[in-house]
Amino acid sequence: MTGTAIWGIGKSSPERVLTNDDLVAMLDTSDEWIQTRTGIRERRIAADDETTSTFAVGAAQVALERAGVDPSDLDHILVATVTPDEPVPGAAPLVQHALGATKAAALDVNGGCCGFIHGLQLASALVASGQSRRVLVCGSETLSRIIDWTDRSTAVLFGDGSGAAVVGPADDARLGPFVCGTDGSKRDLLYVPAGGSKLPASEETVAAREHTIRMKGQDVYKFATEKMTETARALLHEIPADDVDLVVAHQANARIIRTVAERLSLRDDQVVCNVDRYGNTSAASIPIALTEQVDEGRLQDGMLVLLVAFGAGFSWAGGLVRWGRR
Catalytic residues: 113, 250, 280
The neighbouring-strand residues paired with 107 are: 78
Q: In this structure, which amino acid lies at residue 143?
A: L
Which helix H or strand E contains 128, and what residues bound it? helix 115-128
List Cβ neighbours of 224 (8 Å cut-off, separation of 6 or more): 252, 253, 256, 310
Spatial separation of the C-alpha atoms in residues 160 and 285, rounded to whole Å: 9
* Contact between 189 and 224 (Cβ < 8 Å): no
Residues paired with 246 in a beta bridge: 305
Q: Which of 323, 276, 312, 320 is nearest to 114 (CA)?
A: 312
Q: How far is it, in rounded angstroms, from Cα 180 to Cα 184? A: 13
**Which residues partner with 77 through β-bridges?**
106, 136
CB contact at 8 A, 57 and 95: yes
* Distance from C-alpha of 90 to C-alpha of 115, rounded to nearest angstrom: 14
CA distance 148 to 162: 21
- Other C-beta atoms closer than 10 Å to the C-beta of 321 total 22
Q: Minimal CA–CA distance to 162: which of 11, 276, 8, 273?
A: 11
Nearest Cα residue to 110 out of 85, 94, 90, 136? 90
